[in-house]
Amino acid sequence: MPSFVALPEVATVKRREFRSTLPALLFLALFFVVPVIALLLRSVLEPQPGLQNYVELLGSSTYLKVFFNTFMVSAVVTIVSLTIGFPVAWTLAIMPSRWAAIVFAILLLSMWTNLLARTYAWMVLLQRTGLINKMLMGMGLIDKPLALVNNLTGVTIGMTYIMLPFIILPLYGTIRKIDPAILQAAALCGANRWQALTRVLLPLTVPGMAAGALMVFVMSLGYFVTPALLGGTSNMMLAELIAQFVQSLVNWGMGGAAALVLLVVTLALYAVQLRIVGNESEGGR
């Protein structure tokens, strides 16, 4: 690089980068921030000014249970997605690229298929008279149909299936970036396979895992269709509660309050993630 070209100061670059994001910020302000503020106002103004909506929401054991369900289901889905997604991402990363392309195509195709259609497909597979139960009973493995749907099991299966791509794709990116020579170096230093995996590889994939896990967790928190169709009412999640307030009871004060609690929790989680992973991934570059 010719040395007479003055390199811009870091601060100038940052300012310029920021300026180029202005249209996007404006768009967000108009179509996201303003409605959120309107919602906040409703939650403290309807039906009369005050905090009664929040008091009712956080003071009722039923609604607290819905909050608990929401976090519990999201956590379970995240853990199961990670457990299944990690080996898949790993296999994809070391596969010949032609085969990997086919697997990716399948993965993306399922992502682009209508959510409702996919959820109904699970319903047909999982119900008591569904394919899976009929097969298991036909093989004599069970004599009473398993309860796979209208409960936590159904929600977990349906949501994990939908969330898998969101964990596989970032993990795949992270794993691909790992230099295979690192493994050789580990072996040369006397690490056995298990040590190479747990002490070298896994720590290197943490940013990818954290990014994927957080995305899945946050998306799960606000999920509506799948829990509504595959879960029972006793596993009700927050998005369903909000839908009831907004659509059926037409109580927007409570709906707004519930939505804001969800938003605050999500933002807090995001801040935590930035703190833990943000620094690390920047250093990694």
Partner 1 sequence: MKTTFASAVFAAALAFSTSAFSAEIVFSSWGGTTQDAQKAAWADKFTAETGTTVLQDGPTDYGKIKAMVEASGVTWDVVDVEGDYAAQAGKNGMLEKLDFAVIDRSKLDPRFVTDYSVGSFYYSFVIGCNVDAVDACPKNWADLFDTTKFPGKRTFYKWSAPGVIEAALLADGVAADKLYPLDLDRAFKKLDTIKGDIIWWSGGAQSQQLIASAEAPFGSVWNGRMTALAETGVNVETSWEQNITAADSLVVPKGAKNKDAAMKFIALATSAQGQADLAAATGYAPTNLDSAALMDPEKAKTLPDQQTASQVNADMNYWAENRDAIGERWYAWQAQ
Q: Which residues are at the interface with partner 1 (CB under 8 A)? A: 60, 62-63, 65-66, 127-129, 150, 228, 232-234, 236, 241, 244, 246-252
Of 63 and 122, CB closest to partner 1:
63
- Phi and psi at residue 275, in whole multiples of 5°? -65, -45
Of 74 and 127, CB closest to partner 1:
127
Of 60 and 279, CB closest to partner 1:
60
Q: Are 172 and 205 in contact (CB under 8 A)?
A: no
Of 63 and 166, CB closest to partner 1:
63
In the complex, the smallest distance separating the C-beta of residue 30 from partner 1, rounded to whole angstroms, is: 16
Of 35 and 87, CB closest to partner 1:
35
In the complex, the smallest distance separating the C-beta of residue 28 from partner 1, rounded to whole angstroms, is: 21
Picking from 48, 111, 101, 115, the residue whose alpha carbon sits closest to that of residue 254 is: 48
Q: What gap in Å lies between CA 245 and CA 39, rounded to an integer?
A: 13
Of 111 and 243, CB closest to partner 1:
243
Q: What gap in Å lies between CA 246 and CA 43, rounded to an integer?
A: 12
Q: Are 236 and 63 in contact (CB under 8 A)?
A: no
In the complex, the smallest distance separating the C-beta of residue 61 from partner 1, rounded to whole angstroms, is: 8
For tokens 């009473």, the residue is 144
Q: What is the dihedral of CA 158, 160, 166, 170, to 10 degrees?
A: -160
In the complex, the smallest distance separating the C-beta of residue 223 from partner 1, rounded to whole angstroms, is: 16
In the complex, the smallest distance separating the C-beta of residue 128 from partner 1, rounded to whole angstroms, is: 6
For tokens 């889905």, the residue is 77
In the complex, the smallest distance separating the C-beta of residue 243 from partner 1, rounded to whole angstroms, is: 8
DSSP string, 165-187: HHHHHHHHHHHHHS-HHHHHHHH
Structure tokens at 51: 């905090």
Of 65 and 177, CB closest to partner 1:
65
In the complex, the smallest distance separating the C-beta of residue 135 from partner 1, rounded to whole angstroms, is: 16
Q: Are 220 and 78 in contact (CB under 8 A)?
A: yes
In the complex, the smallest distance separating the C-beta of residue 13 from partner 1, rounded to whole angstroms, is: 32
Q: What gap in Å lies between CA 101 and CA 119, rounded to an integer?
A: 26
SS3 label, residue 113: coil
Of 74 and 150, CB closest to partner 1:
150
H helices within the chain, ranges in order? 10-20, 22-28, 34-45, 52-59, 61-94, 97-112, 115-126, 131-138, 152-177, 180-188, 193-195, 202-221, 225-230, 238-243, 252-273, 279-284
Q: Report the residue count for the chain.
A: 285
